[in-house]
A and B are shown apart, each in its own frame.
Chain A
Amino acid sequence: MHVEVRDLNKHFGTFHAVKNVSFEIEKGHLIGLLGPSGGGKTSILRMLAGLENPDSGQISFHGQVVNDLPPQERGIGFVFQNYALFKHMTVFDNIAFGLKVKKASKAQIKDRVTELVELTGLKGFESRYPHQLSGGQRQRVAFARALAPEPQLLLLDEPFAAIDAKIRQELRSWLRELIERVGITSIFVTHDQDEAIEVADEIMIINQGRVEQKGTPWDIYKEPKTPFVASFIGESTVISSAAELKGFEAAANKNATRALIRPEYIEIGSEHDFSVLSATETGVVRHLHFRGSEWLVEVEVKGHKLITYRSLEKETLQPGQEVRVLVHRAYLFNDDHSWIEENRLKVDPMPIMI
């Protein structure tokens, strides 16, 4: 289903939860609404479902305004955060509910439920009650129940929040595959960026009721449009005076330009590790943290603490050791605008410095 939202606003009392939100979603896409808790993601989702009424703005499905349609008529499937399974009904009856409401024939119901039970790997659990299932199984039931009446749009509110880390991983790829196979337009809400990046075709970053950026996970990671997006996605350190960094003096000469630097933008090593030594800074290793598959290194450069990762295969550093630090690129921003800046000395070393 093609979804279009224009100038959506929602207040809860004096709290402005959703502010002038507009976006469009292509048919068949899987969209992740990502942002900190309380940012308005769930409110947007609930307004799409019709469970909440917008104060102003328009929601259209297939070019048709659905603002005045109740949830029953919108042709959507909704997976609730805590699944909201009908606890006095068996798995079969839960999945069949939407079909029974639509007065489908007994044979039709049986076929569709059997199909979904197989699709979601719940075979053999049809006559169990929700309280006899594990968290992952409940999630699958919720999913099958939402899909049963063949909705055109699937909405998922924090679908993995209540599941423990290990199973969450499995369920994510399972869900992604399933949605691809069913080919249904889906929107899910999450506050977990790994989840959004892994599952979604496109991510919308929502903060304080506004859409900060919409794009593929790669675009958002590579080219964050706002400082918030830059700091929210991935890990990063913010340096208050970017001009102090070697290679960024010219770019950051305007006052109060700050730099946001990701661990993967930084390379550390001894002098012979770098071909263009003039682009590097001298730093001192402050702390080393073992992160299972790599070292997390805190290194101090001109009084700023930078964070980077270092392979276990490389020579182990010691706290207090002096190293060379190369900042490949930084995300620079000031009050006016923000941009990605490559280290100029690295790309174009000045002849006098050689």
Chain B
Amino acid sequence: MRRLWIGLTYAVFIILLIIPLSRIAIGAFDKGLDGFAEGLLRPEALHALMMTGLIVVFVTVLNALFGIMMALYLVRANWLSRKIKGILNSIVDLPYAVSPVIGGLMIVLLLGPDSIIGGFFEGIGFKVVYAFPGMVIATLFVTFPLMVREVMPVLQEIGNDQEQAAATLGAYGWTTFRKVTWPSIRWAVVYGLVLTVARSLGEFGAVLVVSGNIMNKTQTATTLVYQDVENFNVAAANGVALVLAAFSVGLLLLMEWAKKRKDVH
């Protein structure tokens, strides 16, 4: 009986993860090394990878900044009542529950060219939806809980005693954060970063809705894969997918390494 369960577990693992991954790897080299290179070096593929890269950079920076601040305010701010903190705390998890496509749709409805805000921005020559800013916002929406949820438990666990001690020793907010709080949360922030990068690399639904998937303009790596498959260009699709998968695996290895480093000062 026990063997059956062990076997079943491995079977699920292989069917869900290993087989698709190997299928992508094999598919990418369907037309040999040249085919793989050709698929990747198409101008639209390079542009899509660049878009993905830019989104990852912007989203990671913004999410780190606001995620850490959100976590700090949710845990530390005593000017917020407990009730409001509780409500904010559950809203943070909203992107987990809401489908990314719906998240993207909300952004289009709020900031699209036909909306008041979107119209205003369009008027001053700043396109939000069907352009880069909208894609960053959509990816931010999807990744927002990742940093907050990594940092919050650590802040709760260390408590504010050390910060208060720093205050009685004459240190103000920024010094206290830099010298006392930051060293305690930095590994949590590293996990948050890794998760954010991985999630923004692979984000599809929200970005597809918001970007309009315009080739050489707003197309990202994932939406390119989708379009390649639609166009029966399976080998190229596999190639781009393989690059994305390789990045993600690398990131997760980095995270494992970070976890090991955590206990070392």
Task: Pick the interface stretch among A77-85, A173-181, A198-206, A321-329.
Answer: A77-85
Q: Which of chain A's residues have a CB closer than 8 A to the CB of B161? A: 80, 82, 84
1/0 per residue, CB under 8 A from B, across A57-89: the answer is 000000000000011111011101010111110
- Give the residue name and chain of the A residue nearest to B161 (CB): A84
A51-B164, A80-B161, A87-B184 given as contacts; is B169 within 8 A of A101 (CB)? Answer: yes
**Helix, strand, loop or mixed for chain A's interface?**
loop
Q: How far is the CB of A189 from chain B (nearest CB, A)?
A: 15
Cβ of B170 within 8 Å of any chain A Cβ, yes or no, is: yes
Which residues on the A side are within 8 Å of B171 (C-beta)? Answer: 72, 97, 101
List B residues 128-185 near A (Cβ within 8 Å). Answer: 161-162, 164-172, 175, 179-180, 183-184
| CB < 8 Å neighbour of A97 from B164, B169, B172, B184 | B169
B165 touches A78 (CB 8 A): yes
A153 to chain B, nearest CB (A): 11
Q: Provide the residues of chain A in CB contact with B165, threshold 8 Å.
A: 78, 80, 84-86, 145
CB contacts (< 8 Å) of B265 on chain A: these are: 88, 129
Q: Is the CB of A149 within 8 A of B164?
A: no
Q: A102 with B164: in contact, given A86-B180, A97-B179 (CB under 8 Å)?
A: no
Decide if A101 touches B175 in the complex (CB within 8 Å): yes
We find that the number of chain A residues with CB closer than 8 angstroms to chain B is 27
Cα distance, A290 to B180, chains bound together (Å)? 51
Residues 91-105 of B, flagged 1 when their CB comes within 8 A of A and 0 if not, give 000000000000000
Q: Which residues of B contact A109 (CB under 8 A)?
A: none
Most buried by A among B168, B175, B179, B184: B168
Give the size range of B's interface with the partner. Answer: 10 to 19
* B198 nearest CB across to chain A (Å): 27
Which residues of chain A from 83 to 124 have any CB-CB distance to chain B below 8 Å in the complex? 84-88, 97-98, 101-102
CA A120 – CA B180 in complex, angstroms?
Answer: 24
Contact between chains at B168 and A76 (CB < 8 Å):
yes
Q: How far is the CB of A125 from chain B (nearest CB, A)?
A: 16
Contact status A149-B184, CB under 8 Å: no
Best-surrounded residue of A49, A84, A129, A149 (most CB of chain B within 10 A): A84
Q: What is the CA–CA distance of A2 and B175 in the complex, to the nearest angstrom? A: 30
A85 and B180 CA atoms in complex are apart in Å by: 10
Distance of A78 Cα from B163 Cα, bound (Å): 12
User: A146 on the interface (CB 8 Å rule)?
Assistant: yes
Given contacts A72-B172, A97-B179, 7 further A-B contacts (CB under 8 A): A51-B168, A86-B179, A88-B183, A88-B265, A145-B169, A146-B169, A149-B170
Interface residues of B, Cβ cutoff 8 Å to A:
161-162, 164-172, 175, 179-180, 183-184, 265
